[in-house]
Amino acid sequence: MKNLFRNTAWLYDVDKRDNLQADIPFYIDYAKMQKGEILELGCGTGRVSIALARQCFKVTGLDLSIQMLDIFRAKTENEPELKDKITIVHGDMSDFNLQKKFSMIIAPFRVFQALTEDDVIKQSLRCIREHLTYDGIFIINVFNPRPVMDEGWCYPETVQWERLDENTGNYVVKKHWGDKIDTQNQIIYPHYAYEVTDKNGIKSRHTEDLKLKYYYDNQLSQTLENAGFRIKEKFGWYDKSTIEDCKRELIFICTKI
């Protein structure tokens, strides 16, 4: 099972939650400190890559979802000045060889959690390390799970957000639910449904079934250290709040050992 967003890629950018907005300045700040080329893993529709390219950074975006990348390419058509700053690659973040190194590699907003098998995770981290310059940084962002993850995590279908999409005139209601958790392997199975009402009042429903691995702070630290990374900084939110002060995210900035 792969999280390819085949059915809902065209609705991904309607999501305007704070954790899909607040991370942009965070990545721009680190890009300014590194100053070299950037690789975004799981770039999707280009949400982060385009923001970085607008700041004149050269960015390579890699993603496994053709549907997401089609939207990314369409966006660059509307901003031709970005074309020489962005390279889009259809590829797997667990096994890639771009034959170059990057001063910053990022795996924003949950994308690394789509890798759920131990050997695949290790292989991905090997690829990342091989593509990172000797003084480069790797930034990984996963959600911070509740202290005890068990069957109590499962929840019925509920509304996550709803809004009018000013670009299309569609009214979109996003719902989500979770019906399964594998506590031994630390994998959750969330589901999403977008209920769309278009300008003519026609309604449709589009769903995705996902599979994500969750990590606790110490586990993610150990996984990265075992793969040859040193954790330079760690945060709980994009304003650089500590994990103790804000328990929403796990954001680690790593260098090669």
pTM reported for the whole predicted model: 0.96
The separation between the first and the last C-alpha atoms of the chain, rounded to the nearest angstrom, is: 33
Mean pLDDT by 10-residue block, N- to C-terminus, for the chain (257 residues)? Answer: 88 93 97 96 98 97 97 94 95 97 97 97 98 98 96 97 95 98 98 97 97 98 98 98 96 97
Token pair of 2, please?
Answer: 């792969």
Whether the Cβ atoms of residue 255 and residue 230 lie closer than 8 Å to each other: yes
Pairing, β 132-143 against β 102-107: parallel
Query: Hey, which CATH number is domain 9-145+215-256, 3.10.20.30, 3.40.50.150, 3.40.50.620, 3.40.50.300?
Result: 3.40.50.150
The set of long-range contacts for 243-249, using a CB threshold of 8 Å and a minimum separation of 24, is: 243/144, 243/217, 247/144, 248/19, 248/143, 248/144, 249/19, 249/141, 249/142, 249/143, 249/144
In angstroms, the Cα distances linking 81 to 31, 44, 50, 75 are: 19, 20, 11, 11
| DSSP conformation class of 132 | E
Q: How far apart are CA 95 and CA 190, in angstroms?
A: 25
Alpha-carbon torsion 105, 108, 114, 117, what sign?
positive
Domains 9-145+215-256 and 151-212 share a fold: no
**CA separation (Å) from 188 to 3, 9, 68, 133, 152?**
13, 21, 22, 34, 12
Do β-strands 38-41 and 59-63 pair in parallel, antiparallel, or remain unpaired?
parallel
Would you call 102 helix, strand, or coil by DSSP?
strand
| Contacts of 249 by beta carbon, 8 Å cutoff, 6+ apart | 19, 141, 142, 143, 144, 235, 236, 237, 238
Q: Which of 80, 98, 90, 92 shows the shortest CA–CA distance to 38?
A: 98
pLDDT at residue 247 in the model: 94
**Order of all β-strands in the sheet with 86-90:** 86-90, 59-63, 38-41, 102-107, 132-143, 249-256, 229-235
Residue type, 106: I
What are the domain boundaries of the chain? 9-145+215-256, 151-212
Q: What percentage of the chain carries pLDDT values higher than 90?
A: 96
Superfamily of chain region 151-212: S-adenosyl-L-methionine-dependent methyltransferases (2.20.25.110)
Span 44-84, pLDDT tens digits:
999 999 999 999 999 999 999 999 999 999 999 989 999 89
Calculated CA dihedral for residues 61, 64, 66, 70, nearest 10 degrees: -20
